[in-house]
Amino acid sequence: MSDPATSLPATRPRHAAWVPGGRLDGVATPVNLPDDAPLVGVLALQGDVHEHEVVLNRVGARVRRVRRAEHLDGLDGIVVPGGESTTIGKMLRRFDLLDDLAARLAGGLPALGTCAGMILLSRELDQDFDQPLLGVLGVRTRRNAFGRQVDSFDTSLDVAGIDGGPVDVSFIRAPVVVEVLDDDVEVLAAVDLGPVVVRQRNLLATSFHPEVTGDDRLHAGWVATLGS
Amino acid sequence: MNTPAGDPAATAPATGTTRVKRGMADMLKGGVIMDVVTPEQAVIAEEAGAVAVMALERVPADIRRDGGVARMSDPDMVDGIIDAVSIPVMAKVRIGHFVEAQVIQSLGVDYVDESEVLTPADEAHHIDKWQFDVPFVCGATGIGEALRRLGEGAAMIRSKGEAGTGNVVEATRHMRSIAGSIRRLSTMDTAELYAAAKEFRAPVDLVREVAETGRLPVVLFTAGGIATPADAAMMMQLGADGVFVGSGIFKSGNPEERARAIVEATTNYDDPSVIAKVSRGLGEAMVGINLDDLDASERYASRGW
């Protein structure tokens, strides 16, 4: 296990852009981050981990990849990225991370879940899929609610609490919230099919991928709440 | 199509964009995509933790053994696989066979692989992939081939390897070639990049983009000859974003265990203790073929232009 680096290097020589393990960090925006910047974990079992890391660094957070329970110590927040929710769920269970992470989230660790991350945070699925969930967010979610990949789409939409106009987002085989299960779940954005951004106490979840568009406002708003 | 409710300021949703095509591939990173020929195999793959399954008529090892023309899968079989799993379903079409691609898109397949493993249908042209809403993955042996495919609209690249052999040496060659060429490009000045575009027979704009960013603008997976957890982890350490496994799983002694082991090794590609653990007691790997034993005409990697 390599050291879970706390942030991307401040500078990266061009010839070293290609790094082992598919981590093509060449496009990361080099940033110098102070030691007291929020430390955000990105669950790194599968999915678009790197895209989140780049955005998090850009909005002033240090980043650590989380693949073992011990990587959860000392985090100010955690991102559950986009990916395949079945795969990430199975890996959470196989590598004994599911219960530890669920307990930390129930104990107040702030989390941002995008797409697969929203599914994994949810308490219930409305489909009969046998897949492990963290089960901490009081919503029932439907996977692939918009259809198959040919139905995936780019759009922009208003999100409550995000200033500066509609947020530019991509819905890729995206889920939707079909039922809010707890009174303290806030719906921050919705489309015809249902809520697509929800918040419950320390948990924020989006159906779409704010990390692939270059519109960093959602991450920036979330990071600004960490450690406070 | 769903529009944001009551939001006049929002722009209309757009499907089939380059961003959702390439973004879909981003979501597969760190994962394993498995060749399946039946719904039953697809279920085994999903259970093992595959991020997607690839539907095809016969796995490459059987195509080698049986010969004949290898084509896209029967639509009934593709429908059956789509119904059997909740993960994305990909399907292979012949190089240049744009009607097979139209058919596969109409079935609701999530990604099309224009694949050299099937018998090519056009000896000069690949499919014009910009004409489709469904994204395409294509094989490449080097940077020039990768960039030509991107120029035609591919949204994901995989190394070709030599499918159906259980021998990883070609995949290694292709991954090292692509990585080495990217390193070379990133040291060139602007004038040299024009000559490089000529050398690689690749669009100069894409050559320039790779030189500036130090990476391909799309996800790069490995395919061809991956048979063991250690093979998968080696490809990840060589720079792959993820792994395709074809014959290696369902031509082995214990497909369930091997599929799961390759998934776990791909996630933990830099942790030898995990790779050792998952490699124990897997039973027989597929027998494998030494590439020196293959005639030039039997080499799939040379298909594609």
Q: B-chain residues within 8 Å CB-CB of A170?
A: 19-20, 23
For an interface test with B, which of A2, A29, A53, A84 has the most B Cβ atoms less than 10 Å from its Cβ?
A84
Whether the per-residue pLDDT at A40 is higher than 60: the answer is yes
As to burial, measured by CB atoms within 10 angstroms (0-12 exposed, 13-18 middle, 19+ buried), residue A221 is middle
Whether the per-residue pLDDT at A26 is higher than 50: the answer is no
d(CA B299, CA B292): 10
As to burial, measured by CB atoms within 10 angstroms (0-12 exposed, 13-18 middle, 19+ buried), residue B273 is exposed
Structure tokens at B225: 């000859």
The predicted structure's pLDDT at residue A35: 80
B188 touches chain A (CB under 8 A): no
- With a pLDDT cut of 70, the percent of chain B lying above it is 96
Answer with the residue of higher pLDDT: A10 or A124.
A124
Mean pLDDT of chain B: 91
pLDDT-derived band at B119, boundaries 50, 70, 90: very high
Q: Who's near B24: CB < 8 A, 6+ residues apart? A: A149, A152, A172, A173, B88, B110, B111, B135, B155
The predicted structure's pLDDT at residue B274: 93
A186-218: pLDDT as tens digits = 999 999 999 999 999 999 999 999 999 999 999
Structure tokens at B160: 């070709």
The predicted structure's pLDDT at residue B66: 87
Whether the per-residue pLDDT at B260 is higher than 90: the answer is yes
> Of these residues, B92, B129, B160, B251, which one is catalytic?
B92
pLDDT-derived band at B63, boundaries 50, 70, 90: confident
Residue from the list A15, A51, A150 with its beta carbon closest to the beta carbon of B183: A15
Whether the per-residue pLDDT at B218 is higher than 50: the answer is yes
- With a pLDDT cut of 70, the percent of chain A lying above it is 86
A96-141: pLDDT as tens digits = 999 999 999 999 999 999 999 999 999 999 988 889 999 999 999 9
The predicted structure's pLDDT at residue A228: 56
Answer with the residue of higher pLDDT: B64 or B212.
B212
d(CA B100, CA A195): 37
Of A12-16, A112-116, A169-173, least confident by mean pLDDT is A12-16
Rounded to an integer, the average pLDDT of B167-172 is 93
The predicted structure's pLDDT at residue A1: 35
Whether the per-residue pLDDT at A3 is higher than 50: the answer is no
d(CA B25, CA A145): 19
Beta bridge partners, B194, equal none
The predicted structure's pLDDT at residue A4: 39
A115 is catalytic: yes
The predicted structure's pLDDT at residue B11: 58
- Asked if the Cβ–Cβ distance from A20 to B239 is below 8 Å, we say yes
Rounded to an integer, the average pLDDT of B254-266 is 95
Whether the per-residue pLDDT at A2 is higher than 80: the answer is no
Taking alpha carbons only, the member of A175, A211, A213 closest to residue A193 is A175
Q: A-chain residues within 8 Å CB-CB of B46?
A: 86
B240 touches chain A (CB under 8 A): yes
Whether the per-residue pLDDT at B140 is higher than 70: the answer is yes
pLDDT-derived band at A29, boundaries 50, 70, 90: very low
A209 is catalytic: yes
Whether the per-residue pLDDT at B104 is higher than 70: the answer is yes
Whether the per-residue pLDDT at A56 is higher than 80: the answer is yes
Task: Please tell me the distance in Å from B58's CA to the nearest CA on chain A.
Answer: 24
Whether the per-residue pLDDT at B4 is higher than 60: the answer is no
Assign B80 to helix, strand or coil. Answer: helix
The predicted structure's pLDDT at residue B64: 84
The region that residue B166 occupies, defined by phi over 0 for left and psi between -120 and 50 for alpha, beta otherwise, is left
pLDDT-derived band at B190, boundaries 50, 70, 90: very high
Exposure string for B78-103, b = 16+ CB within 10 A, e = fewer: bbbbbebbbbbbbbbbbbbbbebbeb
- Asked if the Cβ–Cβ distance from A84 to B14 is below 8 Å, we say no
Mean pLDDT of chain A: 86
- The DSSP 8-state label assigned to residue A37 in this structure reads S
Taking alpha carbons only, the member of B305, B268, B159, B147 closest to residue B215 is B147
Of B61-65, B177-181, B192-196, B289-293, least confident by mean pLDDT is B289-293
CA-CA-CA-CA torsion sign (B121, B125, B129, B135): positive
Task: Please tell me the distance in Å from B67's CA to the nearest CA on chain A.
Answer: 33
pLDDT-derived band at B9, boundaries 50, 70, 90: very low
The predicted structure's pLDDT at residue A31: 57
Whether the per-residue pLDDT at A17 is higher than 90: the answer is no
d(CA A137, CA A198): 9
